[in-house]
């Protein structure tokens, strides 16, 4: 595919997605700097980069929908410690990160849309110099009081991707001890 045509196509797709509604009703909350001793705090970061910023990113913990992420937002999620596969979906593409979460620890996952297309869910090391900046982003969480039911077709698709991660046919970025704060 011609590189110029690809860039133009991505531009028009992203422009057409400006303002697309997400699956989740989100609310702004105060950023929590520490994790409770019996939970793991997972922060999913989405920086503003212009290209594709209008598209909403759907975020999953396995087959459980945990929120919709807009550009310039950080989704803060309290997870039970243990094995988790986090997944993000936008524009027909999925990214995943998988690992063992420790109680009382905090993790940072970063949504990325590489220029070549697709979606990637990165995991920051605990020493990442961008973390203080991310902590100042608009923090959101799912608003369970006004949440609508998630259509079954989305849950089934998330389960399919989760199965692909489990059987090794879909790559997932590892979440390890070096990622825990």
Residue 2 has pLDDT above 50, yes or no: yes
Q: Mind giving me the DSSP string for 113-131?
A: --TTSS-EEEE--TT-TTH
- Which domains does the chain carry? 25-179 (2.60.40.2890)
Residue bearing the bigger pLDDT, 91 or 45: 45
What would the mean pLDDT of 18-26 be, rounded to a whole number? 60
Looking at every residue in the chain, the average pLDDT score rounds to 85
pLDDT of residue 99: 97
Average pLDDT over residues 43-48: 90
| Distance separating alpha carbons of residues 100 and 83, to the nearest angstrom | 4
First to last CA, the chain: 42
6 has pLDDT over 80: no
Residue 113 in this model has a pLDDT that exceeds 90:
no
Length of the chain: 181
């Amino acid at each position: 595919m011609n590189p110029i045509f690809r860039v133009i196509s991505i531009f028009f797709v992203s422009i057409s997605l400006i303002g697309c509604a997400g699956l989740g009703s989100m609310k702004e909350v105060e950023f929590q700097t520490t994790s409770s001793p019996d939970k793991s705090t997972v922060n999913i970061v989405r920086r503003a980069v212009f290209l594709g910023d209008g598209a909403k990113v759907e975020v999953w913990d396995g087959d459980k929908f945990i929120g919709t992420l807009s550009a310039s937002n950080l989704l803060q999620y309290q997870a039970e410690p243990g094995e988790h596969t986090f997944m993000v979906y936008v524009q027909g593409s999925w990214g995943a990160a998988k690992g063992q979460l420790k109680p009382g620890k905090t993790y940072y996952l970063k949504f990325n849309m590489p220029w070549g297309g697709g979606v990637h869910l990165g995991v920051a090391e605990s020493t990442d110099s961008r973390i203080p900046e991310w902590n100042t982003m608009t923090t959101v969480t799912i608003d369970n009081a006004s949440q609508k039911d998630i259509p079954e077709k989305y849950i089934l698709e998330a389960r399919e991707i989760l199965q692909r991660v489990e059987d090794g046919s879909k790559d997932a970025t590892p979440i390890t001890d070096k990622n825990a704060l």
